[in-house]
C-alpha cells in the first residue's frame, strides 16, 4: 500500500499545473510553499526562503517541471525502499 503523500498541496498543484514553466508567483507559492511549516499567508507578499528561490529558478529555467517535482517527491511504492 502506498504511503500518504508528504506534500499533499504540492501534489494537487502539480496535477493542475502539469509541465508548465511559465508559472505566476501565486502558482509557485501554491506549488512550493503551502506544505511548509514555516509558510503563513499573512507574510506571502514579502518573504521568500532560499528553498523557494532555488526551486523557482529550476522551474523557470526548465530543469524541473511541477509534475516532475511531484513525481520525485511522491509516495514510495511498496518495496521501493528495499
- Note whether residue 77 is domain-resident: no
Q: How does pLDDT run across 16-38, given as a tens digit for each residue?
A: 999 988 899 889 988 999 888 88
Q: Looking at residue 2, what is its pLDDT? A: 40
Q: Would 21 be classed as within a structural domain? A: yes
Distance CA 77, CA 5 (A): 11
In whole angstroms, how far apart are CA 10 and each of 26, 38, 79, 82? 13, 15, 24, 26
pTM, full prediction: 0.72
Residue 45 within any structural domain of the chain: yes
Counting the structural domains of the chain, the total is: 1
* 51 in any annotated domain: yes
Mean pLDDT throughout 35-49?
A: 76
* pLDDT of res. 40: 75
Note whether residue 78 is domain-resident. Answer: no
Q: What's the pLDDT score for residue 43?
A: 64
Mean pLDDT of 34-62: 83
14 lies in which domain range? 8-72
Within-domain flag for 12 = yes
Domain assignment present for residue 37? The answer is yes
Residue 82 inside a domain? The answer is no
Amino acid at each position: 500500500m502506498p504511503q500518504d503523500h508528504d506534500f499533499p498541496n504540492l501534489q494537487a498543484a502539480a496535477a493542475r499545473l502539469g509541465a508548465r514553466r511559465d508559472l505566476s508567483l501565486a502558482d509557485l507559492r501554491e506549488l512550493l510553499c503551502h506544505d511548509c511549516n514555516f509558510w503563513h499567508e499573512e507574510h506571502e507578499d514579502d518573504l521568500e526562503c532560499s528553498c523557494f528561490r532555488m526551486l523557482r529558478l529550476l522551474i523557470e529555467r526548465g530543469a524541473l517541471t511541477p509534475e516532475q517535482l511531484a513525481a520525485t517527491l511522491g509516495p514510495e511504492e511498496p518495496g521501493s525502499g528495499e
